[in-house]
Chain A
Amino acid sequence: EVQLVESGGGLVQPGESLRLSCAASGFTFSTSWMTWVRQAPGKGLEWVAHIKQDGSEKYYVDSVKGRFTISRDNAKNSLYLQMNSLRAEDTAVYYCARGLQLLHWGQGTLVTVSS
């Protein structure tokens, strides 16, 4: 059974940093593109970033470029999202998903940016 479990969310002040993790199991992590998608409270979905199987290619939505960094550790079957210079508009549930076609999703982790 495929499982994706996000962690690392919480309440932070504007300008602070947070690192999200996603632990994957039930599939061959090292052969899958991986994606972060976020959903602001009561709003729709927004693609954040995705990363190639070996980490050699990374793509970001413009609103997070230069502030967020996606990475992965295939030995640990884990995906990460380092979020720096957080803003109020980054407040959302962050989901990790398998592949570019979003085959499987985690339950999400809530990030709240507020003073």
Chain B
Amino acid sequence: DIVMTQTPLSSPVTLGQPASISCRSSQSLVHSDGNTYLSWLQQRPGQPPRLLIYKISNRFSGVPDRFSGSGAGTDFTLKISRVETEDVGVYYCTQVTQFPYTFGQGTKLEIK
């Protein structure tokens, strides 16, 4: 199974400042079709997860442009350019390149 490792597990951030979350996979996430199926999810307190970013860097519909994704191969990053109150929650990376599909442990974003 591909293991997804996120760092940090907790990230206190000042409002208006940037935040960055790293996700590393134990194997390359490049699929045989050439795509890299790495996504980022956000789960606000008491809410279901929602998709933010898919295939490394594609923002899903309705996601603010302060969220961006980057990376390749086994190393990926989610960046928030200026953290807002509504960004508080847990962020997960997930891979759907190789079954069983797996998630990172989650990174808790909180406001300082």
Contact = CB atoms under 8 A, between A and B. Distances in A.
Nearest to A107: B48
B101 A47 contact: yes
A37 B39 CA distance: 15
> Which of B96, B102, B105 lies at the interface centre, i.e. has the most chain A CB atoms within 10 A of its CB?
B96
B96 A62 contact: no
Nearest to B61: A103
Interface residues of A, number: 19
Interface in A26-84: 37, 44-47, 50, 59, 61-62
B106 A44 contact: yes
Contacts of A106: 48
A72 B50 CA distance: 22
Interface of A: 37, 44-47, 50, 59, 61-62, 95, 100-108
